Structure formats: C-alpha cells, structure tokens
Amino acid sequence: MKSARSKPRLNELRTPARSRNNLIQGDRDPVNVFCRLRPMQRDTDVACIKILSPTTILCTPPASAISYRNENSKAMKYSFKEVFPPETNQPEVFDKVALPLVEGLIKGKNGLMFTYGVTGSGKTFTMTGDPQNCGILPRALNIIFKTIGDLQAHKYVFKPDKMNMFDIQSEAEAMLERQQELHKLKTGKKNNSNPDLAMSSMELTKIEGINEDNQYAVFVTYVEIYNNSVFDLLEDGPPVCKNLPVKIIREDAAHNMYVHGVTEIEIKSAEEAFDAFYLGLKRKRMAHTTLNAESSRSHSVFTIRLVQAPVDEMGESVIQNKKFLSISQLSLVDLAGSERTNRTKNTGQRLREAGNINKSLMTLRTCLEALRENQVNGANNMVPYRESKITHLFKNFFEGEGQVRMVVCANPRAEDYDETVQVMRFAEVAAEVEVAKPQVMDMGAVMGLTSGRRKAHRLFTTARDNLARADAKDLELDLGLVYSLGPDFPSLELNSSQAAHIIKELMAHLEMRLSRRETLKRSKAIKDERLRSALLDLEKESLEVRSENSALKAQLAAAERRVRALEERLTATESTSLSHQRKLAELTEYTSNLKRDLQEKELLLSQNKLDKEKQKKILERKYNHKIAAEHEKAKEIRSEKDRLRNAVEDKENRLRMIAEALNVERGDNMEFNLKCTGDMGAQTSERGFTPGSTPRALPAHLLTPFSAARDSRETPASSRRGVAVANPRHKRSLSADGRGWVEHAPNKLVPMGTVLKPSIHNSKVVNKLTNVKDIANSKTSKYCLISQEQDTDGELETKLYKGDVVPTCGGGAQVIFNDVEMLKQFSPNRESRENRSSVSERRSNCARHSGKRRETASSPPQTPSNSSKKQRVDDD
Ligand SMILES: Nc1ncnc2c1ncn2[C@@H]1O[C@H](COP(=O)(O)OP(=O)(O)OP(=O)(O)O)[C@@H](O)[C@H]1O
C-alpha cells in the first residue's frame, strides 16, 4: 500500500524524501548493523570479545575494566546482521555490506553507510583500506564505473545548479564546456592520485539489471566535519590547504539537507574518482595519538551522486527535461573514533578535537534513541538533529527514504572493553531504528517510452556505419519493407497445358497489384497530407514554444540573477550569524567561567565575613571588659580631678583676696597687711609704706606670681601705690627679648591710651594661626597670644599669654605656656570707693585664708600646633 499522500512530484523522488509519518510498517527497513572485529596486534593481548555465532558476540569484562570494578561484571551478548571475524577480508566485507547499497544507487535508491567504533578499531581500514587491501570506498567507485561504462552521458550534459539539483544542457552546450575545460587542462593539469595505491586494479564484476535506456553521470563531493564545522575537502586550492573556509548546511527545495557551496566534481572514470578522493584525503585532518598512529580527527563524508535521465524515443540523446531526472546518492561516512581522554592522554588541540568528536557521537546516539522511541512507542520526541553537523547532514536518511547500514568496528583486546561496550550499546539502539524503503520509478515508462530504445539506436547506427563502408555491397541486408504490394509472383511456367489459365491468373494478379498500388498511392497521399499538416502544426507549435521559451528564459535569467543575489546575501548573513554564534558560545563560556569565579569568590567572602564576625565578637567581648575597667578608672580620675580643682579654686580665692588686700590704701593696707602677715606668719621688718618709697619686701610666697622671679634681679619699684613688686619680667627687654617671637593677635587691639603697650620688637605678627609653618620653623622659638576682654568690674583687660615653641618629633611644634602678662586700668575714684566698701569683707576673707596668692591664668587659650596640641600653663 502506498502512502496516502497525493502522487509525489517526479523530482521529489530523487533524493531522500522527508518523513512520511503515515508509512505503514511494511514500507520500512531496519538499519542494518554489522560488526567487524580487527585482528589483535600482539600475541600477549587478551581478548574480551568472543564470536558465538555468525550474528552474535559475547563481551566479557576483564578485571581491569571499570565496569568490572563497578560490580557490573556480567558478560553481555550482542547481535548483529552479521559478525565479521578478524580474518575476514575486504572483498567479503564489501560484498556483504556495501554492494547492496551500490546496487541501490544504480537503481536510483539512496544509501548511507558509516563505520563506527573506538579509536584504532579499524573504521578507516574498513572504509578506505590500504594499497593491498582496498576498502569499501574504492571498491564502490570501481564497480559503479564498471557498471555504467558506456551508458554515461557526455560530460557537462548534467550540471549541478548549486542548489542540490541538476540542470540538463544540450549536447552543444556540454561540448562547449568540455572544450573550455580542455583548454584549462592544457594550461596546468593537476594530478592528485597516489602512485602507491593502484586500487583500480581490483577485480570486480559489474552490477546486472541496469536500465540501459537511461544516460548516467557520476558526481562526487568530499567533506569533513572537524570540531563541528564543515569543510570542503575538494575546494579549489593547493593540495595541502590548511585554511579551508567553513561551509554551511542548508535545505534544498525538496527539503533535503546539503552542504551549501560544496565542490561537486563530475567524474568519468574510477581513476578520476580516486584522484578526487586522494586530494581530499591529503587535506583530511589526521594526527598521531597514543592509541592510533594515524587517527582521524574528523568525520569524513564521501558522497557519490548518480544522475540518470531517460533517452528520447529515438534512443539517441537525453530528454531535455529536468522533471525526468533521477538523482540517487550514496554517502560513505568514516566517523572519527570515540576516545576516553584519560586513556589517550590527549592535551590541547587533540583534547579539544576529542571533546568535539565525543560530543557529536553522543548527539548521533541521542538522535537515534529519540527516533527509536518515536517509532517503537509512538512518542513524539523532538530529535535533536541540529545539535551536531553530522546528524544535521543526515537528517533525511533517518526521516526520509533510503537504506542505512553501519559497520561497528571493534578491537577485541581487553584494554578497549569499557569503550567497546558503549559502542555495542549504540549499535543495539541503531539496529532498532527503521528507515522508509526507497521508491523507484522508471522515468521512461512514466513517459510511455518503449524499452530497448537505446539498443535499437545502437544497432541502427552500427548498420548505418556498416553501409557506409566500402565493402557494403557484399552485405546482405534485410531492410524489411514497410510497404508491400502483396505476395510474390506466382510461378510462371508457360510451357504447360494450363498456360492460358496461368496468364489469366497472372493478369488478375497484376490487376490486383495495380489496384493495390493505387490504393497505396492514395493512402500515401493521404498520409503525406496528414504528415504535412502535422508538420505544419508542429512547426506552428514549435514557433510558439520557442517564443514562449525565450520569454521564459528571460524570466528565468532574471529570477536566477535575483536568486544569486539573494543567495550571496544569505551566505553573507549566514556566515555572520555563524561567527556570531561562535562568539556567543565563547561569551557564554566566558560568562559561565566568570560566574563560577564570582560564586567561588562570594563563598570565600562570606567565609571571611563569618570569620571576621567571630573574631569581632571575641574582640568585642575582650574590649567590653577593658572599656568597663577604663570607665571605672576614668570615673576615679574625674572625681580626683574634681577634688583637686576644688582645692585649687579654694587656694586661688584665698590668693586673690591676699592680692586685693595688698592693693588697698596704705593705712588700710598697713592694718590689713599686718593682719595678713600675722596670719600667714610672714616675717616683715617694715610695716609702713609711703608713696615713692621702696616697697617693703614681702615674703616671696605672698608676692604676685610674677614677683617670684627665679633670678635674683631686683625689679624697680612700681609706680603704683601699695604694690611691692620686684619682678624682672616687668622689664620690657626681658618680656620680649627679640628671640624669634610670633605675636598672635586674633582681634584688633582696642586703643587704651596707656603708657605700657604690648609690643614685641622684631616679631612676626599673625591674626590667624592657620599656617603651621608660622610656628613650626627654625627661627620661631617664642609664642605670644594677645587677648582683650572685660573683667568682672567691666574694665578692659589686656592679657599676653606667652610660651616657648618646642618642635615635635613629627615635624610640628608645641607651645608650652609659661607666662601671662596682664595690663589693666582702673579709675582711682572708683577703686578707692570700691576698696573702702570691700575692706571689711577683704579683711574677713584675708583672715580666713592663710595661703599665699598666686596670680595666674586659669585657663590658657588653645594654641594650634600641627602634630600635637599639647598645652601647658607653667606656673612661674
Ligand atoms: N581488519 C583489519 N585487518 C588488518 N589491519 C587492521 C584491521 N583493522 C584495523 N587495522 C589496522 O589498525 C590500525 C588502526 O586502524 P584505523 O586507522 O582504521 O582505525 P580507526 O578506527 O579509523 O581509528 P581512528 O578513529 O583513530 O581514526 C591501522 O594500522 C589498520 O591498518
């Protein structure tokens, strides 16, 4: 039963058709899987594969195998269509595996054959072989040319249209191209054949049953899939070409996958085919690995396309109609071997290759598993053909029509066991996949042409040629008359008695012949007339067809131009997209690496954070204890400080009172002083004080702070009454002795109209002390801060805070205050009044305080310093 689909278009039958889900079970063939065991290399090698029957093997895990260690030590049986023992020779393998595919190819059926196995298991040996043992590929080429022999069309009659289809050219066009090629060849012929390999010497018989009413042409392509990119091994260029451009896989109008822009060479003999094959072989990526001296690093696909078209009714030339073309293809695939990297010890480029090889083989396996699932269980799983170039390219074989055969190559040695078992499992999956049987049509029969046209034409041309020969007159030819005037003349024996009767008969016969001749003449005239009118019709039709043809040709040319332009754009877009895809993959990998790094760093960071928090807690606990202790101490210090401050304030009050007592009028003072001195136990010799007299000498501890000069110099008597001061500092020369002073007057001084004015000779005057260098330099050794403020009585008081500038080790300076000068004015009236009113109070105060009074700056102003702001008031 045929598919429910409407009658297929003729040219859709040529290449593997797309999936037809409604194909019934009988329309399908399983993938035929063969197993070939290669001979052991060394006598010492231990085998892990045993042949049980011509179709079954037994794999026993050796003790060294991983599966054995994983307690999966059961021996496993695997079945195949046929198992080839190590001693099987190449012709046997070819006859069983590839010959049916070649027969199918000749009859217009598609075929796919691939070798699969671990690296070094004999895949390339099976597919290509060596000079002494030609493999499947050279044998297939040889037998094809032996079979099609002189049934081949002239070169360039069939021409690839670059879109996976073919055009048919007229003999004249084909001849023109042949001449051009001849010219090119004269200028430089390339010969790529390998002199060591005389594969054409194989003894092969031709395939029977070929349709002799067709003309044939063979085209080959050779591509390799390396690191999941497709390369054209027959691309124009030097034989050893390293930088072949990447090709893309596309779908043609009939939804078949093909390598776009691939070089498709028309081959006219097995020798030419070998030339092409060896050119590709030189470019194929091979490398030395630990497990195979010449290991294929890529999957190679050698495709033979056979184009056939029926000859016309005269059996002379091909019918110039693309509709009647039939294209069948046989793809011979040598897959790269699967390899475990820990065994091969590959690194760098080899490792990357191995990764890509394993990945694509994995995709092949995944695709076949999904297909099997869909076919056996009626699932509708998406088959990931596009994940790998190899599966993408052969999508049509699995989803369309054709014969698929696989040779699983295995090395029986124990070291390969683990990988061999994986291969066997893949083989099991593959054997369960089914492929639709190809449908073949005889185009001549479709057109209603009789068979044997070509043979008849050959005979006719032979006869014609023979007639032209010089000895043709001796030939006895039975040309077989088309028109006959009836039977032969009756015998004319007139000497008999019945002569009159015979003459009568003869006359009747002649009359009959005459009338027959007339009839034939009339019939011929009618036929001539018909022929003429038919010819006229044909001529008319031909004219119409020709004009239509030229219009169509013009349209076609325009369409072709458009297609070519679009194609170019598409190619450019596709190559950009490809490069973008590659970039994207790189960036994705880079991003994932970065993410991984980030995660690692985040982990580390959180670990560190945790550690730090732990440490912090420990330290916090420690320091809390310390801080508590410090707080306790600070509290104690503060209370001690308060106590001391109170004591100091108490003493100051007492001293102030003493000083005030010293300043009261003489009479009062006398009394007051006597009391004070008496209270304080001072030893005075003189109690009287007259204006202009030398002030009495008070004990040192009762004088103002400035009177307690360390040197013994006498201070001249103060002009102010009642002040017995002998302080050498009152000398201006000493207070400002000209040694590198910095005079710091933050505010403008209010003029007081006094005799004594705060002024230091040769000093540097600054209003603001912002520049450290003003203080911290080698010339400056003294600092004076001048301030004016109101005292408690509302009088203006000028204070000079003086100090030594001491450089600090950090390069800055500190000021140690050691002196305060004060300038103050009183109204004499107010003073006496005030004094009088407060005398009694002072007396009482004086009586209460027995300590000496020291007049000092209670809190010196702050002075900037760059490294240390240490301030000290040194009571003099
Ligand atoms: N059946 C066999 N008879 C004799 N020699 C064989 C056979 N099979 C393989 N060999 C030899 O084994 C070696 C490795 O074989 P081959 O290169 O075909 O392996 P491979 O499976 O193609 O490896 P790779 O996947 O690495 O390309 C070759 O030297 C080949 O001649």
* Averaged pLDDT for residues 335-355: 69
CB-CB contact of 47 with 414 (8 Å): yes
* Averaged pLDDT for residues 78-95: 94
Distance in Å, CA 408 to ligand 1 centroid: 12
Distance CA 183, CA 199 (A): 29
Residue nearest (by alpha carbon) to ligand 1 atom 8: 122
pLDDT above 70 for 418: yes
Residue with tokens 């089914």: 434
pLDDT 10s digits, 220-230: 999 999 888 89
**8-state DSSP, 55:** T
Distance in Å, CA 351 to ligand 1 centroid: 21
Torsion, Cα 99 102 104 107, to 10 degrees, reads: -130
Residue to substitute in 89, 292, 296, 298 for testing ligand 1 pocket (most ligand atoms within 8 angstroms of CB): 292
CB-CB contact of 416 with 410 (8 Å): yes
Identify the bridge partners of residue 230 per DSSP, sorted by sequence position: 225, 247
**Mean pLDDT highest for which of 295-304, 311-320, 620-629, 722-731?**
620-629
Distance in Å, CA 139 to ligand 1 centroid: 18
pTM exceeds 0.90 for this model: no
H or E element that contains 593: helix 499-663
- What's the mean pLDDT when you consider all of the chain? 77
Q: Report the nearest atom of ligand 1 relative to the CA of 335.
A: 25
Q: Which two tokens stand for residue 842?
A: 């002072």
Residue 229 CB contacts under 8 Å (≥ 6 apart), including other chains: 246, 389
- Ligand 1 binding pocket includes 695 (Cβ within 6 Å): no
Does 379 or 639 have the greater pLDDT score?
639
Pairing of strands 295-296, 286-287: antiparallel
- Ligand 1 binding pocket includes 122 (Cβ within 6 Å): yes
pLDDT above 80 for 781: yes
Confidence of residue 97 (pLDDT cuts 50, 70, 90): very high
**Mean pLDDT highest for which of 245-249, 488-492, 736-740?**
245-249
Identify the bridge partners of residue 300 per DSSP, sorted by sequence position: 224, 334
Torsion, Cα 178 179 181 187, to 10 degrees, reads: 160
- Ligand 1 binding pocket includes 361 (Cβ within 6 Å): no
- Ligand 1 binding pocket includes 444 (Cβ within 6 Å): no
What ranges in 284-317 are assigned the alpha helix state H? Answer: none
Q: Which two tokens stand for residue 187?
A: 């200028």
* Averaged pLDDT for residues 497-516: 80
For residue 444, say whether it is annotated as part of any ligand binding site.
Answer: no
Residue nearest (by alpha carbon) to ligand 1 atom 9: 122
Specify the pLDDT at position 133: 87
- Ligand 1 binding pocket includes 93 (Cβ within 6 Å): no
Distance in Å, CA 114 to ligand 1 centroid: 15
- Ligand 1 binding pocket includes 344 (Cβ within 6 Å): no
Which of 94, 83, 80, 183 lies closest to 142 in space, CA to CA?
94
For residue 129, say whether it is annotated as part of any ligand binding site.
Answer: no
For residue 124, say whether it is annotated as part of any ligand binding site.
Answer: yes
CB-based burial of residue 740 (10 Å sphere; 0-12 exposed, 13-18 middle, 19+ buried)?
middle
- Ligand 1 binding pocket includes 92 (Cβ within 6 Å): no
Specify the pLDDT at position 667: 47
Specify the pLDDT at position 288: 62
Q: Report the nearest atom of ligand 1 relative to the CA of 126.
A: 18
Specify the pLDDT at position 435: 87
pLDDT above 60 for 841: no
Residue to substitute in 36, 37, 38, 224 for testing ligand 1 pocket (most ligand atoms within 8 angstroms of CB): 38
Specify the pLDDT at position 454: 81
Distance in Å, CA 56 to ligand 1 centroid: 22
Quickly count: other Cβ atoms within 10 Å of residue 500's Cβ. Answer: 10
What ranges in 768-867 are assigned the alpha helix state H? Answer: 828-848
CB-CB contact of 165 with 11 (8 Å): yes
Specify the pLDDT at position 64: 74
Q: Which two tokens stand for residue 697?
A: 């000498």
* Averaged pLDDT for residues 173-179: 86
Residue to substitute in 49, 88, 124 for testing ligand 1 pocket (most ligand atoms within 8 angstroms of CB): 124
* Averaged pLDDT for residues 21-37: 74
pLDDT 10s digits, 441-484: 777 666 767 777 888 778 877 777 776 665 655 555 544 434 45
Distance CA 169, CA 175 (A): 10
Specify the pLDDT at position 685: 37
Q: Report the nearest atom of ligand 1 relative to the CA of 296.
A: 27
Q: Report the nearest atom of ligand 1 relative to the CA of 334.
A: 22
CA 591 from centre of chain = 9
The lowest-confidence range among 5-14, 23-32, 430-439, 662-671 is: 5-14
CB-CB contact of 169 with 157 (8 Å): yes
Specify the pLDDT at position 707: 38
- Ligand 1 binding pocket includes 121 (Cβ within 6 Å): yes
Does 838 or 167 have the greater pLDDT score?
167
pLDDT above 80 for 348: no
Q: How far from 69 is each of 4, 62, 65, 837, CA to CA, in Å?
A: 54, 9, 7, 119
* Averaged pLDDT for residues 316-342: 84
Residue nearest (by alpha carbon) to ligand 1 atom 1: 38
Residue nearest (by alpha carbon) to ligand 1 atom 10: 122
Q: Report the nearest atom of ligand 1 relative to the CA of 286.
A: 27
For residue 117, say whether it is annotated as part of any ligand binding site.
Answer: yes
Quickly count: other Cβ atoms within 10 Å of residue 403's Cβ. Answer: 22
For residue 780, say whether it is annotated as part of any ligand binding site.
Answer: no
Distance in Å, CA 195 to ligand 1 centroid: 21
- Ligand 1 binding pocket includes 38 (Cβ within 6 Å): yes
pLDDT above 90 for 89: yes
φ/ψ bin of 692: left (φ > 0), alpha (ψ from -120 to 50), beta (otherwise)? left
Distance CA 224, CA 279 (A): 13
- Ligand 1 binding pocket includes 328 (Cβ within 6 Å): no
For residue 120, say whether it is annotated as part of any ligand binding site.
Answer: yes
The lowest-confidence range among 20-24, 59-63, 172-176, 840-844 is: 20-24
Q: Please state, for a pLDDT cut of 70, what percent of the chain lies above it.
A: 72
- Ligand 1 binding pocket includes 294 (Cβ within 6 Å): yes
H or E element that contains 620: helix 499-663
- Ligand 1 binding pocket includes 295 (Cβ within 6 Å): yes
Distance CA 181, CA 161 (A): 18
- Ligand 1 binding pocket includes 123 (Cβ within 6 Å): yes
